[in-house]
Amino acid sequence: MEQDDWKERYKSLSDQMDELQTQFEDQPLQHLLCQMTVALDGQSAQLDHALNLLCTQLKNNQPGSPKVIQLVEKQLRGLDIEQQQQQEALLLGLRKWIYQLRLNLTAEAADQRLKGIEGEMTPFSGQLAVIAKVVNELVELQGPLLADDFNQGHHHAALDGIAQEDEALLQKIGSELLSLIAGLNIPPGDMSLARELVSRIEEGVTLNGLSSIVQDLVGLVSRFNAYNGAEFENYLQNLTGHLVEVQAYVKAGQTDELAADEVVLLTNGIQKDVQSIQTVMQESNDLQQLKSHVSSQLLNIVKSVDLFKEKEERREQRLYERYLQLQRRFEQMEEQTHQMKVHIESERHKALTDSLTSLPNRAGYDEQLHAEFERWKRYGQPFSLAVADLDLFKRINDTYGHQAGDKVLRLIANILTKQSRSTDFVARYGGEEFVILMPGTTAKQAMIAVDKVRQAVAQSPFNFHGDPVQITLSLGLTEVQPEDAIDSLFNRADKALYEAKRLGRNRIELG
């Protein structure tokens, strides 16, 4: 009996345990599925139906039948496609809206804004934040039309058309707005506002009510964004600062033509990074992900700039070294050129100078006579030529030796130079023969000058081995004549010299 009692008690406890276990196991699943049913409500009528069936079975402590579970799975799979189609329908609706507003808003500013809104929608991400912004802007633009027309009870034909023909569109907008709210991570403090908004949308979106719904929605979204706003703004300001620095550096680099290729590479790289930042900023909802992406792109930019700077510094260093090398080479060349000039000048001087008397030699005389002749032909200024020859010089050589003769030649050269004007040109023509070129001097004037020379030579006291020796000069003198060539001038003077010799030496004859 006691044993039967124990068995009964055991059976009863076991049943209770089974029931509790079933409750613990099934209730959370049941609870979760019912919550999902509520969350997914309104996405699709078929899905709502399937989920309600499943929920009813679970609430009645029945396991979900395979048929109902399959139905839910099928509807969930179809939801993606349906959302895509809804997005497309929404985009189409927004475009129609913009088109209709364009027809009615004729002001240039409104047209520009509508174009801007269209631009923002391309590509259409379907993100709720973007839709909310676009809808809000359109409602704002539409404001004056509604105020003018609806208040007076005259529906504008175009807007009326939208209201009647596109009732379905308003429903879709409502469903998109609900999806947007569901997708927001709403802070607890704003939950009641969100709930109130959801029930207003669920009651049905009308054209008149859309504006205030969207405004409230934007208010909700902006409050939510305000949580991270300051931090994000700060971050973007830093980013902008970096980019401005980079831009300034790149611009400075662009002025250097040699580095143009490098600048193009750097600029392209930076443009790609910045585009990537912009794309992520447009597409990302996650601040942390956005920050890490932007940071990595910024790091790329900084690396590119550093690499560019490094290359630039190396290039500048190379250029500077090449510049120094060239400068040294240039200085060497300058020095060599100077030496060469000095050498050429000295060689030229040697070539034109008589080494015994240091007077210009016959080549020097030829050059000078040529220049004088040209001057005369151009300006017609007269000049005279005297050819002087030492008298009986052979005797001196023969009597006192060649060295004594050389000494006489040097002394005579000295007297000729001293007695002539600084503008006159004295040269040793060869042997014991000298020439004197007298620019701007007629034969008459020259006669006086060369006679002074003749006298000075004749009066010079020469002594050899204690013996006084008389040295004299004979000279032939002539003035340039209109029909003269270089040779004829010299020949005339030479003939006159010959005549002076013939007539007794130590005299001057005019030719």
Catalytically active residues are: 432
Residue nearest to ligand GTP (CB): 405
Rounded to a whole number of angstroms, the minimum distance from the CB of residue 472 to ligand GTP is: 9
> Which stretches of 105-156 are DSSP H helices?
108-120, 128-151
Binding residue count for ligand GTP, defined by CB under 6 A: 16
Rounded to a whole number of angstroms, the minimum distance from the CB of residue 383 to ligand GTP is: 25
Cα–Cα dist 135/214, whole Å? 7
DSSP line for 9-58: HHHHHHHHHHHHHHHHHHHHHHHHHHHHHHHHTTS-HHHHHHHHHHHHHH
β-strand pairing of 508-510 with 473-479: parallel
Exactly one of 137, 312, 389, 479 binds ligand GTP (CB under 6 A); that residue is 389
Joined tokens for residue 24: 């613990």
Q: How crowded is residue 126: how many other Cβ atoms within 10 Å of its Cβ?
A: 17
Is 159 an interacting residue with respect to ligand GTP (CB under 6 A)? Answer: no
Cα–Cα dist 417/488, whole Å? 25
Rounded to a whole number of angstroms, the minimum distance from the CB of residue 440 to ligand GTP is: 30
Rounded to a whole number of angstroms, the minimum distance from the CB of residue 370 to ligand GTP is: 25
**Is the CB of 432 or the CB of 479 nearer to ligand GTP?**
432
Exactly one of 390, 471, 473, 508 binds ligand GTP (CB under 6 A); that residue is 390
Cα–Cα dist 315/471, whole Å? 79
Max intra-chain CA distance, the chain: 194
Rounded to a whole number of angstroms, the minimum distance from the CB of residue 386 to ligand GTP is: 15
Cα–Cα dist 435/443, whole Å? 15
Rounded to a whole number of angstroms, the minimum distance from the CB of residue 393 to ligand GTP is: 3
Distances in whole angstroms, Cα of residue 306 to Cα of each of 253, 256, 267, 311, 386: 13, 17, 13, 9, 84
Exactly one of 312, 391, 484, 494 binds ligand GTP (CB under 6 A); that residue is 391
Amino acid at site 44: S
Is 476 an interacting residue with respect to ligand GTP (CB under 6 A)? Answer: no
Interface positions, 396-415, toward ligand GTP (CB under 6 A): 397, 402, 405-406, 409
Is 392 an interacting residue with respect to ligand GTP (CB under 6 A)? Answer: yes
Is 501 an interacting residue with respect to ligand GTP (CB under 6 A)? Answer: yes
Is 471 an interacting residue with respect to ligand GTP (CB under 6 A)? Answer: no
**Is the CB of 172 or the CB of 501 nearer to ligand GTP?**
501
Interface positions, 431-460, toward ligand GTP (CB under 6 A): 431-432
Cα–Cα dist 55/72, whole Å? 11
Interface positions, 331-360, toward ligand GTP (CB under 6 A): 356
**CA 134 to chain CA centroid, nearest Å:** 39
Is 394 an interacting residue with respect to ligand GTP (CB under 6 A)? Answer: yes
**Is the CB of 294 or the CB of 409 nearer to ligand GTP?**
409
Note the residues at the interface with ligand GTP (CB under 6 A): 356, 389-394, 397, 402, 405-406, 409, 431-432, 501, 505
